[in-house]
Amino acid sequence: MKCVLAFAAIAALAAVGACNKNVKVKSQTDLNTVNACTKFEADVVVDGVSGIGALSLDNVEEITGQLIIQNMYDLQTVSLGALTSAGSFKVLNNTNVYKVDVPQLTSVDDFQIIVNPNLKELTYSNISSTTNFQIIGTHVSALGVFADSKPGNIEILSNTDLQKLDFSAVTETAGYINIANNGKNANVTFSSLTQVGGNVSFADAATLDISKLSSVKDDFSLYTNDFTNLTVPALSTADKSITISGNSFKAIAFPKLTEIGSSLNIVNNTNFKSISKTTFPKLGSVPGSIVLQGSFDNITFPSLKTVDGQVSLSGKGKLSCDDAEKALSAADNFDCSLETVDDSSDGGSEVSGGDDNESHDTSGAAAHTTVVAVIGGAIALVAACI
C-alpha cells in the first residue's frame, strides 16, 4: 500500500512539473499531458502535426503563455470547453478546420483566428479583456459577444459570410481598427466608440455606426462602402489623413471637424457630386495636401483658411477650374485638370477647364486595385509570418 501511495505521489509531482514547461506537441500523447493540467503556465505549440483530426483540451482552464495551433492540415475541430483565460490564443493557417470552440474564454491578450478558409463555426461568449483581436480569412457567419470596452487592436478582415459586426461595447481603442472585405451586406456597429488610438479603416460595409467617434490619432479611411449617406457627427480632430475613396456615398458630413493633421483625399466616389457647406462646415486648416478626384458640380469649404500642401483636382463634372480655385483660395499651390460639362448641352459636350491635354479618369480601377492589393497583401503577410 505504501508503494502505491509513493508511486501516486511521484506521478502527481510529475504532472505538476509538466504544467509549467513549454510543450511542442508531436503526438496525441503530448496533448494528453497538457490536458491533465487545469492551469498550464507555459506555451503550447501545435505546428504541422499530421494525423490529428480533433484537438481537445477541455480540461484546461487557464494558459498563462501562448496556445498556437498552426499548419495542421488534417485538423478539423478545436475544442477548449473550460478555457477562461490565455496569454495568446492563435489558430493560424489550418486549411480544413471548420469548428473552433472556446465558449468560456473571456480574457486573452492576443486572439488570432487567421487564414482558416473552411472555418464556419467560431464559438466564444464574452471576451472582456484583450490587447489584439483578429479574425481574418474565414467563412464564419457570426461573431460571439465582444465585451471589452477598451481593447488594443481590432481587425476583422476577409470573412465573406459575416454579416453582423457588433462592437457596440467598445468606447475606445489603444491601437487600430481595420474592418474590410466581409459579407456583402455587412452591418458594422461601433456605436459607443469615441476615440481610436491608431489608424481606423472601414471598407465594404452596408451600414456603419460611428456616431460618437470624436478623435482619431492616426489615419481615418473609408473605402468601397455600399451605403449612401455618411455622417460622422462627433469627429472633431483627425491627427493624420482622412481618405474617402470608392464609396457609394451621395452625401458626406463632418459637422464638427475642425482639424486634420495631414491630408484630405476624396477620390472616385462616383455618386458624390457636391462638397457643400454642410460637408466640412468647420474645417479651418489642412497642413498637408487636398486631393479631389471625381464628378464634382460644386465645392465649398466655408471655414477653410490655410492649406499648406498642394490642392489637386481632376475628374469631370459641372465644376470649372476657375470656380474651384476661388472655393479653395486658401491654397497657394493649386493644380487643376477638371473637364467641365457644359450644362446647356443635352449631349454633354465638354470644354476644357484645365490643362489642354486630354485626361482619362482611371481612378476607379486604381482605387479598387489598391484596396484589393492591401487586403490581399495583409493576408499574405500574416500567412508568411506564421
Tell whether the model's pLDDT for residue 12 goes beyond 50: no
Between 14 and 148, where is the model more confident? Answer: 148
In this prediction, residue 31 has a pLDDT band, given cuts at 50, 70 and 90, of: very high
SS3 20: coil
Tens of pLDDT, residues 329-340: 999 999 999 999
CA distances 46 to 26, 86, 137, 231, 362, Å, are 7, 15, 20, 46, 47
Tell whether the model's pLDDT for residue 270 goes beyond 80: yes
**Residue 261 C-beta-side C-alpha neighbours within 13 Å:** 12
The backbone torsions φ and ψ at residue 59, rounded to the nearest 5 degrees and listed phi first, read -90, -20
Q: What is the percentage of the chain residues whose pLDDT exceeds 90? A: 83
**Residues pairing with 172 in the sheet:** 195
C-alpha–C-alpha distance, residues 178 and 336, integer Å: 33
Q: What is the DSSP letter of 139?
A: -
Listing DSSP states for 58-91 in one string gives TT--EEEEEEEEES-SS--EEE-TT--EEEEEEE
Q: Is 104 exposed, middle or buried (0-12, 13-18, 19+ CB in 10 A)?
A: middle
Between 361 and 258, where is the model more confident? Answer: 258
Average pLDDT, the chain: 88
SS3 9: helix
pLDDT of residue 371: 40
In this prediction, residue 355 has a pLDDT band, given cuts at 50, 70 and 90, of: very low
Tell whether the model's pLDDT for residue 32 goes beyond 90: yes
pTM: 0.85
Mean pLDDT of 196-208: 98
Among the residue ranges 63-67, 159-163, 301-305, 346-350, the one predicted with the least confidence is 346-350
Among the residue ranges 135-139, 252-256, 369-373, the one predicted with the least confidence is 369-373
Tell whether the model's pLDDT for residue 10 goes beyond 50: no
Q: Beta-carbon neighbour count of residue 310 at 10 Å?
A: 15
Q: Compute the Cα dihedral for 174, 144, 232, 311 and give only its sign.
A: positive
Tell whether the model's pLDDT for residue 157 goes beyond 60: yes
| Contact yes or no for 170/151 (Cβ under 8 A) | yes
Mean pLDDT of 170-194: 98
Tell whether the model's pLDDT for residue 86 goes beyond 90: yes
pLDDT of residue 16: 53
CA-angle at 371, arms to 365 and 377, nearest 5°: 125
pLDDT of residue 181: 98
SS3 132: strand
Tell whether the model's pLDDT for residue 362 goes beyond 50: no
Tell whether the model's pLDDT for residue 220 goes beyond 60: yes
In this prediction, residue 135 has a pLDDT band, given cuts at 50, 70 and 90, of: very high
In this prediction, residue 342 has a pLDDT band, given cuts at 50, 70 and 90, of: confident
Grid cell in block for residue 237? 480632430
Nearest by Cα to 217 from 169, 263, 175: 175
Grid cell in block for residue 11? 506521478
Q: Is 69 exposed, middle or buried (0-12, 13-18, 19+ CB in 10 A)?
A: buried
Mean pLDDT of 29-39: 98
Tell whether the model's pLDDT for residue 22 goes beyond 70: yes
Tell whether the model's pLDDT for residue 226 goes beyond 50: yes
Mean pLDDT of 223-252: 97
Longest dimension (CA), the chain: 106
Mean pLDDT of 75-101: 98
Q: Compute the Cα dihedral for 23, 27, 30, 34 and give only its sign.
A: positive
Q: Beta-carbon neighbour count of residue 95 at 10 Å?
A: 14
Tens of pLDDT, residues 203-218: 999 999 999 999 999 9
**Residue 1 C-beta-side C-alpha neighbours within 13 Å:** 0
Q: Beta-carbon neighbour count of residue 209 at 10 Å?
A: 17
In this prediction, residue 341 has a pLDDT band, given cuts at 50, 70 and 90, of: confident
In this prediction, residue 18 has a pLDDT band, given cuts at 50, 70 and 90, of: confident
